[in-house]
Amino acid sequence: MILVTGAAGFIGANFVLDWLAQSDEPVVNLDKLTYAGNLQSLASLQGDPRHHFVHGDIGDRALVDRLLAEHQPRAIVNFAAESHVDRSIHGPEDFIQTNVVGTFHLLESVRAYWSGLDETAKAAFRFLHVSTDEVYGTLGATDPAFTENNPYEPNSPYSASKAASDHLVRAYHHTYGLPVLTTNCSNNYGPFHFPEKLIPLMIVNALAGKPLPVYGDGMQIRDWLFVKDHCSAIRRVLEAGQPGETYNVGGWNEKPNIEIVRTVCALLDEMSPRADGKGYAEQVTYVKDRPGHDRRYAIDATKIHRELGWKPAETFETGIRKTVRWYLDNQAWVQQVQSGEYRQWIDRQYGAKG
């Protein structure tokens, strides 16, 4: 079996759903259930004996030690992280505690567990750490895309905390021999995305008749990766990646934010037109840019394609159409997230721990 941390979050939930759709290998899901952790994203697995959920923190050494001893995982996939740049600007301490201190405690537990395995199990074990392209900083308009050899130049408390966690993971490989893998991905989008991020926020606000807020001039460029492509890349790295290596995962889809917003508006015009016959693009509103907003990210995903044979299955055009369709078809999920009902359910089930 495998242990997946942060598996009630956006990417983690998609990973678990895809994993169990393709394999009968059980998953232990450890998630703190902060605001972005939503077990309703995994509702289809209710009663499935292959999915074992544990409410807890990666920084809880006693809990993690017990889970490792009890379940004896052959691999750990670490998604657990605070991940929203705006929130890191307003409240950086949570990002330090989870992304830096939490990762340290998790690594300590894993190191102790791994050290006690027999030689065959030790050689087969993997710790896969999921990170972000934001650790590399920002790019100029004509700079080449980020490769795995780019220096780290994080510009927000979020990206700095992820950079620190990446360095810890690397250090545990070089110092202790822990067989680690690191993936640095570009902007994900797709089903179950918490509606504070750009694409789901635009969909939800458009349908509600609210303004569509675009930072600055809207020309911040990102590389967009459909979440299920990201999940397939992680599975491939876990299967065949070389311990100690880093793999950049991107969608080969560099686009400015304003183009993303207009694409979403055009798809909504087609799939769910406004009652007044006007276009959703009329709701676009430019707002003051956020502090330290990186201008451009771009991932060069050549290494993972060359060494592991992975490439994304979706183009941006196919992925964004699937995403808009999913949000239109899953309004109940969106409403529960917006209303906080999912949090109330968590509080009833687990107490106000998140």
Q: Residue 353: inside a domain, yes or no?
A: no
Do the domain assignments include residue 351?
no
Give me the residue label for tokens 């606000």.
205
pLDDT score, position 294: 83
Token representation of residue 10 = 């956006």
Compute the average pLDDT of residues 187-216.
93
Q: Where are the beta strands (DSSP E) in the chain?
A: 2-5, 27-31, 51-55, 75-78, 126-132, 180-185, 187-189, 212-215, 221-226, 246-249, 254-256, 284-287
C-alpha distances in Å from residue 326, one per residue of 80, 104, 264, 320, 331: 24, 36, 13, 10, 9
- Percent helix, strand and coil across the chain, each to the nearest 5: 50, 15, 35
Q: Is 307 inside any structural domain?
A: yes
CA distance 352 to 354: 6
Question: Which residues are identified as catalytic?
Answer: 133-134, 158
Question: Mean per-residue pLDDT for 92-103?
Answer: 93
Instruction: Check which CATH number belongs to the domain holding 262 and give it.
Output: 3.40.50.720
The whole-angstrom separation of Cα 8 and Cα 42 is 7
- Asked whether the predicted pLDDT for residue 290 surpasses 90, the reply is no
Q: Does residue 8 lie within any of the structural domains?
A: yes
- Alpha-carbon dihedral 346, 347, 351, 352, rounded to 10 degrees: 110
Confidence of residue 82 (pLDDT cuts 50, 70, 90): confident
Would the pLDDT of 272 be above 60? yes
Does some domain include residue 41?
Answer: yes
Locate tokens 């972000």: which residue?
A: 132
Instruction: Give the pLDDT mean for 210-220.
Output: 93
Q: pLDDT category, 228, cuts 50, 70, 90?
A: very high
Does any domain span residue 354?
Answer: no
Note whether residue 281 is domain-resident.
Answer: yes
**Number of domains forming the structure of the chain:** 1
Residue 351: pLDDT above 70? no
Does residue 354 register a pLDDT over 50? no
- The predicted-structure confidence for 123-151, as pLDDT tens digits, reads as follows 999 999 999 999 999 999 899 999 999 99
Query: How many beta carbons lie within 10 A of that of residue 30, not counting itself?
Result: 27
Whose CA is closest to 24, among 50, 3, 4, 52? 50
8: domain range?
2-346
Q: What does the block give as tokens for 53?
A: 């959920």
Length of the chain: 354
Residue 162 lies in a domain: yes
